[in-house]
Structure 1
Amino acid sequence: MKSETRLHQELQERSSFLSQPKAVWAVAFACVISFMGLGLVDPILPAIANQLNASKSQVSLLFTSYNLVTGVAMLITGVVSSRRGIKWTLLTGILLIIIFSALGGMSGSIGGIVGYRAGWGLGNALFIATALSAIVGLSTSGTAKAIILYEAALGLGISVGPLLGGELGSISWRGPFFGVSVLMLIAFIFIFFMLPPIPKPKQRSTLADPFKALAFPALLTLAIVAFLYNFGFFTLMAYAPYVMGLDEHGLGYVFFGWGLLLAITSVFVAPKIQKSFSLVASIAVMLTLFAIDLIVMAIGTIAHSPNTVIVAVIAAGIFLGINNTLITTAVMQAAPVERSIASASYSFVRFLGGAISPWLAGKLSEWYTPESPFYFGGLMVLIGVAALLLRRRHLDHINRLESAH
């Protein structure tokens, strides 16, 4: 006879990931807006470079400061949320994003924007690590489907962000910054009124907990892989806009297509792949295809074929959407620690890759050739695949959990 716990788990898995409490939808809506902020600035990168007389590597510091502060601040998210509560932490993160995105829009120098993006990154860290934990904790359809909902919010935000950024950016490069501020104010109101108080954990987190979590080989393996593949991800985000030869509207449409494919594959394709193939094999194949895609971008740049780069950028959404869902699901099961701590540890490492890669991509194009950032990004992604295969034994228990479901 099946145990009552097992029966409850099966009922959870059978329920649709759309059947969620209002509080989950409130957090998911805020996630959409938060992730819009990531892609909202993509269409205006060339405009900022032109109007503020900045180099590509200088403009790429908008991503570097944002990701660096986000990654480091991840280390304190567990400490803050375990003491102040999930709702207060989410609201604080959103409030910081509102303030610093507005200040970025009012700035008159590249240094000022980079600094305000760092403050934006602090708010982003408090929000995204806590939001994932909140969605998983409040969901009534099980961990896997809650993560799919989170990834869907991510994909929707990333896809709509550039579209809106292109429209606002065509008016002024300052428009997207003010747009984020207004949208996050709406998210603040949703969270404030719709998210009930969530009990604080019985045991408070410490600053050492994220580092202790990385002692678990499975979590460390996934973090290393994400660190390396983020070199490819942020080369696409921060450097590709310069070689496509498009204005703000055009870049907005390209990244909209990319994000739309990312959202669709993360929700509808990734779960099927997850059930049909092993975790390691699925991630390895998706990352290898992404590396090949980056090499195609390099070839398109050499051939002065913007259309090749455009198609390759949009296609990358397929591989990244599937990969993101697979890795995020695995992270939540990688170590016997609180989900928020696992998320913070993993995100700390991966965002460091996201901090280095945008600046390095700009510098490589200045030091060598326009296509060199894509080659380097593809190489780092392939090194990530090698690291995954070499350490695949550490992920066996996650495969067993998935097959048990």
Structure 2
Amino acid sequence: MSSQPGAVSPFRQPKAVWAVAFACVISFMGIGLVDPILPALASGLKASPSQVTLLFTSYLVVTAVAMLFTGFVSSRIGAKRTLVAGLAIIVVFSALAGASGSIGGIVGFRAGWGLGNALFIATSLAVIVGSASGGFAGAIILYETALGIGIAIGPLLGGELGGISWRGPFFGVAVLMAIALVATVVLVAPTPKPQRKQSIVEPLKALRHRGLLTMGLTALLYNWGFFTVLGYAPFPMHLGTHQLGYVFTGWGVLVAFFAVFGAPWLQAKLGIAKALYLNLALFALDILAIAVYTDHKTGLIVAVIVSGAFIGINNTITTQAVMTVSPVERPTASAAYGFVRFIGGGLAPFAAGKLAEHYDVHVPFYLGAAAVAVAIGVLSTGHSLLADAERNQRADAASHGGEDAEEDRLTEQAEAEDVGSSS
């Protein structure tokens, strides 16, 4: 059994961290914001489900490839300018997607959106980890909290705006990201350029490390199941835009809750490796239930909502493990890991649509369940490396715990001296 890494509250942070976290909330809203309008897009633009799922494919595949360039860019212009550039690109391309009149145009503009998303995601995680108080584990929990809140709110807002017009969610993202852009410009202090400029090939070279490659391949398979559910499940539900928004809001609430509370508890009880094995096994069984009950609306909806719990747990534990499983610098590790995992997330929804068209609606989910099951086998090949990652997390938590205890002691001493002098 493993002890819980870190007991310091992750919510005592400087304002710059909160500004980036707020921008993360808005950014992650974009993941689920379009989910409720997928059937409406197919109907309104006379497109097949597989064509509509290209919105995920273009977005995530471009995000994956662009991840390789994030370190190259940020090491030359600094983290803040990279954040601002990513947010600005998202604002422009989300607005263009909303103004588009064809499914091809939207897919193309979502690709541009993915470029901005890559610059923002990789850099925001590095900024939060580098600037947050309370240690590495606390920073990851804060990042996953932002992710969970964004994912939870996104479908609700998407359902409401999509009920007015399918263009509404795209324009909604543009407005919200513009707000996040202003907050980042105002609240995040200018960051110096790193002393060492990173090359484009460094993330690819980082994948030579067995632990990082193992985690990346595991995440690729896991994301195949995740984005099969997220990108294709709205079609067999046969629900209206508002109803789909409510379903995926329930799903997002579970993602947020279990990312913040469930993941630390499970890791404390079982350790990284056993917690991930159990969670992936339960997620595979849940996707299998989706495959079996695809034609039964109630069973399908319940299974989709429940999947949020497993996704939330996996996101938090895996992100922490990736950052400590190898000696690679954290921004490089994040870029390498993101490149591999987003490939799976990008290809899965399109493959799901094609499989459903050529076979039946159950097959995509059977494949998704199988992919997550295979991920367990891949992860087991790096079992000893996960134990090393856990020791690194405990060491980080212990060092920051000591620093915070000393800070609290000095604060209490200063307050006591103030009371004494005033009396």
Q: What range describes the TM-score normalised by the shorter chain of this pair?
A: over 0.9
Structure 2: any 5+ residue segments left out of the alignment? 398-423
State the Cα deviation string for residues 212-252 of structure 1 (Å, max 9, x = none): 11111111110000000111000111100011121111110
Amino acid across the alignment from 2:124: A
Aligned: 1:53 with 2:16: no
Q: Choose from 35, 49, 59 the match for 1:66.
A: 59
Q: Choose from 167, 184, 187 the match for 2:160.
A: 167
Amino acid across the alignment from 1:363: K
Contact 2:215 2:322 in 1 (8 A): yes
Once residues 352 and 266 of structure 1 are traced to their aligned partners in structure 2, the CA distance between those partners, rounded to angstroms, is: 23
Structure 2 match to 1:140: 133
Structure 1 match to 2:246: 253
Bigger CA drift: 329-338 or 97-106?
329-338
State the Cα deviation string for residues 23-51 of structure 1 (Å, max 9, x = none): 00000000000000110000000000001
Size of the aligned set, in residue pairs, is: 392
Aligned: 1:384 with 2:375: yes
Normalising by the residue count of structure 1, what TM-score does the alignment of the two structures yield? 0.95
Structure 2 match to 1:344: 335
Normalising by the residue count of structure 2, what TM-score does the alignment of the two structures yield? 0.91
SS of residue paired to 1:27: helix
Amino acid across the alignment from 2:210: P
Contact 2:281 2:373 in 1 (8 A): yes
Structure 1 match to 2:325: 334
Q: Choose from 362, 374, 382 the match for 2:365.
A: 374
Contact 1:275 1:402 in 2 (8 A): no
Q: Give the CA deviation at 1:133.
A: 0.3
State the Cα deviation string for residues 169-189 of structure 1 (Å, max 9, x = none): 000000000000000000000
Q: Give the CA deviation at 1:14.
A: 4.2
Contact 1:148 1:266 in 2 (8 A): yes
Identical pairs, percent: 56
Structure 2 match to 1:40: 33
Structure 1 match to 2:193: 200
State the Cα deviation string for residues 79-120 of structure 1 (Å, max 9, x = none): 000110000000000000000000000101110000000000
Aligned: 1:279 with 2:275: no
Once residues 383 and 192 of structure 2 are traced to their aligned partners in structure 1, the CA distance between those partners, rounded to angstroms, is: 36
SS of residue paired to 1:312: helix
Q: Choose from 197, 221, 231 the match for 2:224.
A: 231
Q: Give the CA deviation at 1:13.
A: 4.0
Structure 2 match to 1:89: 82
Once residues 146 and 222 of structure 2 are traced to their aligned partners in structure 1, the CA distance between those partners, rounded to angstroms, is: 21
Aligned: 1:395 with 2:358: no
Q: Give the CA deviation at 1:393.
A: 2.6
Once residues 212 and 397 of structure 1 are traced to their aligned partners in structure 2, the CA distance between those partners, rounded to angstroms, is: 21
Once residues 239 and 88 of structure 2 are traced to their aligned partners in structure 1, the CA distance between those partners, rounded to angstroms, is: 33
Once residues 7 and 31 of structure 2 are traced to their aligned partners in structure 1, the CA distance between those partners, rounded to angstroms, is: 33
Q: Give the CA deviation at 1:403.
A: 4.9
Once residues 146 and 30 of structure 2 are traced to their aligned partners in structure 1, the CA distance between those partners, rounded to angstroms, is: 13
Q: Choose from 105, 108, 122 the match for 2:101.
A: 108
Amino acid across the alignment from 2:311: L
Q: Give the CA deviation at 1:340.
A: 1.0
Once residues 219 and 91 of structure 2 are traced to their aligned partners in structure 1, the CA distance between those partners, rounded to angstroms, is: 28
Once residues 218 and 6 of structure 2 are traced to their aligned partners in structure 1, the CA distance between those partners, rounded to angstroms, is: 28
